[in-house]
Amino acid sequence: MRNAMKGLALALVVVFAFTSCAKQPAQQMDAANAAIQAVYDAKGGVYAAEELSKLKGDLQAATDEINAQSKKFFKKYGPAKEMLAQVVADAEAVKALIPGRIEEARMAAETAIVDAKTAWEEAKALLAKAPAGKGSKADIEAMKSDLAGLEAAMAEVQGVFEAEDYFGAKDKAMAVKDKAAAISEQVQAAIAKVRR
For the cut 60, the answer to whether the pLDDT of residue 6 exceeds it is: no
Q: Which of 25-29, 136-140, 142-146 bottoms out in mean pLDDT, i.e. has the lowest?
A: 136-140
Which DSSP letter does residue 131 get? -
Please give the Cα distance from 53 to 116 (Å, whole number).
34
Reported pTM: 0.71
Please give the Cα distance from 23 to 30 (Å, whole number).
14
What are the tens digits of pLDDT across the range 30-43? 999 999 999 989 99
Q: Report yes or no: 87 and 30 within 8 Å, Cβ to Cβ.
A: no
Cα separations in angstroms, 181 against 49, 174, 178, 190: 33, 10, 5, 14
What are the tens digits of pLDDT across the range 59-100? 999 898 888 888 888 888 888 899 999 999 999 999 999 999
Checking phi first, is residue 164 left (phi over 0); if not, alpha (psi -120 to 50) or beta? left
In our burial notation (b when 16+ CB lie closer than 10 A, e otherwise), range 37-51 reads eebeebbbebbbeeb
Q: Report yes or no: 56 and 41 within 8 Å, Cβ to Cβ.
A: no
Please give the Cα distance from 140 to 147 (Å, whole number).
10
175 residue type, one letter: A
Helix 26-41 with 78-128: angle, nearest 10 deg: 0
